[in-house]
Amino acid sequence: MGLLDMFSRGRQIDTRARSLSFVLNDTGATYEDGRIGLEPTTLTISEKRVAVIGLNGAGKSTLLKLIDGAMKPTAGTVSVVRHVLDDDGNPEPGQDTAYNPSRKSDAKALKDLIGIVRREEIPNSYYMADNISDAVAAPLKKRKLPEAYCNETIGMLFAHFGLTAYARQKADALDSEKRHLLAIVSALAINPAAIVADEPTKGLDEHATRNVARALFGYDKQVVFATHDLSLVTDPIYAIDRVLLLDEHRVAFDGAPAEAVDHYNELIRKRYEAMKAGK
């Protein structure tokens, strides 16, 4: 039995294999200024790799904020169901737990279940820490987890995401690629069941994008992410299971990567032709 198992239950870190189902039931969101974020939508997201694509302003970020609890719906409901998985990766019967992000107690629980990544954004406290290793360790130590557990967790994450050589550097000394990687590590430190990532490779060149994507999708964790980079959707190395194409705050297509990208390209073509025609 390793450290991850020894301290999982009594020390507020759940190391069991888990996955989440995000359930939208006629869910809509309108901002305070009257802008529509998402038209009433009904769908369930439970696959391991789900991409959300669409033009700027289509509703991608709103959808992600609704499922990760950062935004409350103004219509319908959102629920998040936690599944405990067996050795074969299948949900164990009778182990599901449903959470309502709009309920305060459930929202608190979901902070441990969902790791949130917003591009290369890292907590402000990271810039005040002596180094990025101490920064990642701080929330673990706040939970009074054993130092050995914290060191093992950080060591494994830094090794996987290529940050070991930078562990003693300050956050503001990292380049953009490393900050993107650190943002993902920050979200994974408490061992969430899933990651919700809004454009996790935005602003990176092709080489850095590939490095970040390989690390993110190579980690054994459920990921729901929004992107404008279609290579993240179609490259078989990333094994995307499902793609949601949003247009005008609605799901315009829901299916396999290749077909979704075909629909996206056709949407862009029609918009371009309409613009040329002055419509």
Which pair of structure tokens corresponds to residue 52? Answer: 């959300």
Residue 279, pLDDT score: 61
The stretches of 129-175 forming alpha helices (DSSP H) are 132-142, 147-160
Does residue 185 contact residue 157 with C-beta atoms inside 8 Å? yes
Mean pLDDT, the chain, integer: 92
CA distance 216 to 206: 15
Q: Would you say residue 236 has pLDDT above 80?
A: yes
pLDDT at 82 over 80: yes
Q: What is the pLDDT of residues 11-53, one digit of tens each?
A: 467 878 899 999 999 999 999 999 999 999 999 999 999 999 9
Report the amino acid identity of residue 242. Answer: R
Q: What is the pLDDT of residues 91-132, one digit of tens each?
A: 999 999 999 999 999 999 999 999 999 988 999 999 999 999
On the question of pLDDT at 6 being above 60, the answer is: no
Q: Which of 82-86, 222-226, 253-257 has the lowest mean pLDDT?
A: 82-86
Is 206 exposed, middle or buried (CB count within 10 Å of its CB: 0-12, 13-18, 19+)? exposed
HSE at residue 218, side-chain half, CA atoms within 13 A, is 13
Question: Which pLDDT band, with edges at 50, 70 and 90, does 1 fall under?
Answer: very low
Q: What amino acid is encoded at 175 in this protein?
A: D
pLDDT above 90 covers a percentage of the chain that reads: 82
Output the pLDDT for position 90.
Answer: 87
Taken in order of first residue, the domains within the chain and their CATH numbers are 3-16+47-69+114-276 (3.40.50.300)
**Within the chain, what is the greatest distance between any pair of CA atoms?**
67
pLDDT (0 to 100) of residue 9? 42
Strand partners, 73: none
Per-residue pLDDT tens for 179-226? 999 999 999 999 999 999 999 999 999 999 999 999 999 999 999 999
CB 67 within 8 A of CB 22: yes
Total-model pTM: 0.92
Q: Does 8 score more than 50 pLDDT?
A: no
Would the pLDDT of 272 be above 90? no
- What values do phi and psi take at 215, rounded to 5? -70, -45
In the predicted structure, residue 85 carries a pLDDT above the cut 70 = yes
Per-residue model confidence as pLDDT tens digits over 131-187:
999 999 999 988 888 889 899 999 999 999 999 999 999 999 999 999 999 999 999
247 has pLDDT over 90: yes
